[in-house]
Chains A and B, each alone.
Chain A
Amino acid sequence: MRNLFALLWKNQFLVLFLLLLGVSLFLLSRSYSYHGSLAYNTTSDLSGGAFSTYSNITDYLSLKAENDLLAEENATLRNVLLSSFLQTDTQYVYRDSLYRYIPTKIVSNTVTKRNNFILVNKGAKHGIEKEMGVISPRGIVGVVVGVSDNYSTIMSMLHQNMRISARIKNSGQLVNVIWDELDYLYGTVIDIPSHIQLKIGDSIITSGNSLIFPEGIMIGEIQSHQIDGNKNLSKATLRYNTDFNSVRHLYIIENLMKTEQDSLINKLSTSNE
């Protein structure tokens, strides 16, 4: 035993190196799955505060472009106001709202890594929870994976664990969108049925099958479609509608019926067993 300790002490440099390397690889291994990312991330008011001070300074540089984008979005929203429709029906229909949109601002963002995250300036205090969907004025952005009091971390579409249930807009076929292009402009559409021939410019939208995103949110447009004759399912490249590198303002989507939908699904899955 004493010899063992003596040996370890003699090689303390190597032993310490291997020990610490083991610790860091253990920490790292947690981030290789979607659920690991949900459980272990470092969202905190400390790191959030540092980024937010810095972005307060740099935001002025992009004010003009950001204003244009917001004006464009205002115009779109004005189009769906009740007052912009011809009102022939006198009966007032009451609708429960299903989704609530919480506006946020990005304080830190990356696009060049294999796994990219976005930090925004709203958190648990503002009603944000894990696994809420995130969109930009142009289209889909990602899913919330970490929340502190005042900040949240979003796993952006540019992450290897991201997989979004989507639909081809004009045929209604269900597909999935992942990111393996390693370029922040492009994503990959997988699981396309072989009889479907996509054209350049076809829109891909969210399917509404997950409880995270409402149906019909724009993801991107088809850039190219490779058909492999032997396989049942083909792949296509899409160009994201959101420019992840320049986006500044985001909306986090709260599904107001989520608890009800969740409990229904749980009931179904338990009755199947």
Chain B
Amino acid sequence: MSNSLVKNILRFIILMAIQVLVLNSMNLSGYLNPYIYVLFILMLPAKINRSLLLIIAFATGLVIDYFGNTLGLNAAACLVVAFLRPGTINLLFRNYEFGVNEEPGPYSIGFGGFIRYATILVFAHQLVIFYLEVLSISNFFYTLSKVLLSTILSVIVMLIALLLTSKRKKNI
């Protein structure tokens, strides 16, 4: 139990630091901004209490908002991710039996499965972020293209991060 707790707290701190200090000031091809911190919510244990999941996600979003001066924006997006997560896991991995603290990461559900899982939830996250930020549908397709590209980019960045840390993960 404590092992999993420590791991998640460390992951929270590292992902937050990367997001706030590096990725938030990164603009690939002018306007793309990868969101790696959602990985923290994705990698919480699969069988976590659903209400606890909502509260953790809300707090995570607020921390990001606090540093980005967007109070409420990331919090709302993270809530949507947490709301959709149990259903998505049920839908995609109905046949897989998760252990007590097992994470829905690429080493339990496979890389293909993880990419599908992450893409669905990150897409929902980006959808909320971009449309709430603009709060209009006047540039609907322009915003949608940003959502799609940003989703792809974020998932790729998450995969890279997981691959880079995979060795350590096996030891834990």
Contact = CB atoms under 8 A, between A and B. Distances in A.
A173 interface: no
Majority-rule SS of B interface residues: helix
Interface stretch (B4-12, B72-80, B112-120, B155-163): B72-80
A20 B79 contact: yes
Q: Considering the complex of A and B, which 10 residue pairs feature the smallest CB-CB distances, nearest first?
A: A28-B72, A27-B72, A24-B75, A24-B76, A24-B72, A114-B133, A117-B69, A112-B31, A27-B71, A54-B21
B76 to A, nearest CB: 4
Contact of B72 (A16, A25, A115): A25
B79 A17 contact: yes
A17 B65 CA distance: 18
Interface in B36-89: 50-51, 54-55, 58, 61-62, 65-73, 75-76, 79-80, 82-83
Interface stretch (A39-47, A121-129, A193-201, A233-241): A39-47
Interface in A12-36: 12-13, 16-17, 20-21, 23-32
Given A28-B72, A110-B24, A47 B58 contact: no
A13 B87 CA distance: 12
A108 B135 contact: no
B2 interface: no
A151 B69 CA distance: 13
Contacts of B70: 28, 31, 113, 115
Interface residues of A, number: 39
A109 B142 contact: no
A24 B58 contact: yes
A111 interface: yes
Contacts, number: 95
B20 to A, nearest CB: 7
Given A17-B82, A109-B25, 8 more contacts: A13-B51, A16-B51, A21-B76, A26-B72, A28-B70, A28-B73, A112-B30, A112-B31
A41 B71 contact: yes
A24 B79 contact: yes
A110 B25 contact: yes
B71 A31 contact: yes
A27 B132 CA distance: 12
A206 interface: no
A183 B27 CA distance: 12
12 contacts: A13-B51, A17-B82, A20-B58, A24-B75, A25-B72, A26-B72, A28-B70, A31-B72, A108-B25, A110-B25, A115-B70, A153-B69
A13 B21 contact: no
Given A110-B25, A245-B27, A27 B75 contact: yes
B73 A13 contact: no
A51 interface: yes
A182 interface: yes
B151 interface: no
Contacts of B31: 112
